A and B are shown apart, each in its own frame.
Chain A
Amino acid sequence: MTHIGKNTKSTIVSKGISAGHGQNSYRGLVKVLKNASNARNYSQCDSLLLGDKCGAHTFPYLEVDNSTAIVEHEATTSKIGEDQIFYCNQRGISTEDAIGLIVNGYAREVINKLPMEFAVEAQKLLQISLEGSVG
């Protein structure tokens, strides 16, 4: 994300999902150029770990050349709780479907911004990618 003009605002939302033995990395650059006064950026980098053999790493790069800039970065890491899965099981939802629901809920913020047809494909792809990869 590069801020060039004056009074610019930006938001970055990254939702990473790791499963199996996967290692996920977020590497983001927020650049505020010299003349970009009053720039504002908020970056949110979330990781969801499925199972205990995977990992996630965050490498935020902030290159700020204007002292009036306000740049924020937040990172969260979460797992799907066993209690959450059991709650779904007790309502008749299989573990695999429960994980699908929860992962979709997690990624919703990003998927909602995609054009409809692509969003539907993305959701289906997510479901297929996760099939059988759950611990």
Chain B
Amino acid sequence: MLIIKNLKASIEGKSILKGISLEVKPGEIHAIMGPNGSGKSTLAAVLAGREFVEVTEGTITYSGKNLLEMAAEDRAKEGIFLGFQYPIEIPGVSMVNFMKTAVNEHRKHKGLEPLSASDFLKMMRDKKELVEIDSKLANRSVNEGFSGGEKKKNEIFQMAMLEPKLAILDETDSGLDIDALRIVANGVNKLKRPDNSFIIITHYQRLLDYIVPDVVHVLYDGRIVKTAGKELALELEEKGYDWIKKEVENNVIA
């Protein structure tokens, strides 16, 4: 599904990603953990196609295609979804209008007819139930006046509507209380299929109690310094990131 080879990227000349290599296969859930400033959100930004991040080296292959040559909206239509860390507000644009435009753009790309208004509203109702989102959300402007938790739930709702092949969730668990966390995790678990994949970016073990990863990577100072199974997340929770930092310093790991 996704093959990243030796990815290096900078923002305004400052090197942030220093050689990331990663492979995600269909059906897999990968967790990327790491301390603040390690480059986790930059990695998400590169995958989504944010222009202010400059890729200086490396390749990214997505479903056999060169991802770096695709514009952000094309990557989205090919099935990449980014759950933003800080979802932005778009006043005046209703969720219904926004989602209808997005869904129909995706359908057009696949050669399908746009959904009729009634079919679309039915789809919204079904997905709202699936991810336990409040009904009133649809009539509001995109993220306007939403609490932090509501914004994150709204990201999951949009993910349910767009049915991506590769979903990257950037710190989706930050700012959530236990109930909201459970709802978000349930949403992800219900959307999991053998032919789609998830990259979950998080600081904490918490979310990974509910969304069990197949692989856990630790990102530190722009490099993946450790890769293991889900127990790694538990070990990190116990020992903290200092443990990783010490290991790197002592050159125990590259």
Selecting from B96-104, B114-122, B130-138, B199-207, the interface stretch reads B96-104
| Among A2-10, A28-36, A58-66, A80-88, the stretch in contact with B | A80-88
Residues of B contacting A95 with CB < 8 Å?
A: 73
Report whether B93 and A92 are in contact in the complex, using a CB–CB cutoff of 8 Å.
no
Interface positions of A from 50 to 90, Cβ below 8 Å from B: 81, 83-84, 86-90
Cβ B93 vs Cβ A93 within 8 A: no
A91 within 8 A of B: yes
Within 8 Å of chain A (Cβ to Cβ): is B128? Answer: no
B68 vs chain A, min Cβ distance (A): 16
Q: Which residues of A contact B41 (CB under 8 A)?
A: none
- Inter-subunit contact A93/B87 (CB<8 Å): no
Choice from B50, B71, B91, B162 contacting A91 with Cβ under 8 Å: B162
Query: Counting CB contacts under 8 A, is B88 at the interface?
Result: yes
Residues in chain A near residue B16, CB distance under 8 A: none
B87 contacts A87, C-beta separation under 8 Å: yes
CA gap between A86 and B82 in the complex, in Å: 11
Quick check: A87 and B84 within 8 Å, CB to CB? Answer: yes
Knowing A91-B102, A92-B162, A94-B73, the reply to whether A105 touches B93 (Cβ < 8 A) is yes
Q: Known contacts being A89-B49, A89-B73, is A83 close to B88, with CB within 8 Å?
A: yes
Q: Could you tell me how many residues of chain A have their Cβ less than 8 Å away from some Cβ of chain B?
A: 20
Across the interface, A92 reaches (CB within 8 A) one of B90, B91, B102, B141, namely B102
Which residues on the B side are within 8 Å of A88 (C-beta)?
73, 90, 98, 102
Verify A91–B49 contact, CB threshold 8 A. no
B102 & A87 in contact (Cβ 8 Å cutoff): no
User: Are A105 and B141 CB-contacts (below 8 A) given A84-B88, A87-B90, A92-B77?
Assistant: yes
Binding site secondary structure of chain A: helix
Report the minimal beta-carbon distance from B45 to chain A, rounded to whole angstroms. 9
Interface: B106 (CB within 8 A): yes
A134 close to chain B: CB less than 8 A: no
| B81 vs chain A, min Cβ distance (A) | 8
Report chain A residues within 8 Å CB of B105.
91-94, 97
When distances are taken between beta carbons in the complex, the residues of chain B under 8 Å from A97 are: 101, 105
Whole-angstrom distance between the alpha carbons of A97 and B97 in the complex? 12
Ordered by A's residue number, 21 sampled pairs between the chains whose C-beta atoms are within 8 Å are: A84-B89, A86-B50, A87-B90, A88-B73, A88-B90, A89-B49, A89-B71, A90-B82, A91-B102, A91-B105, A91-B158, A91-B162, A92-B77, A92-B106, A95-B73, A102-B93, A105-B90, A105-B92, A105-B97, A106-B91, A106-B92
Additional A-B contacts beyond A86-B50, A86-B72, A90-B84 (18; CB < 8 A):
A84-B90, A87-B88, A88-B73, A88-B90, A89-B73, A89-B76, A90-B48, A90-B49, A90-B82, A91-B105, A92-B162, A93-B73, A101-B97, A102-B93, A104-B93, A105-B90, A106-B91, A108-B92
Chain A residues with a Cβ under 8 A of chain B: 81, 83-84, 86-95, 97, 101-102, 104-106, 108
Pairs A-B, 10 closest by C-beta atoms: A105-B92, A105-B93, A89-B72, A92-B76, A91-B102, A92-B105, A89-B73, A92-B77, A83-B88, A87-B88
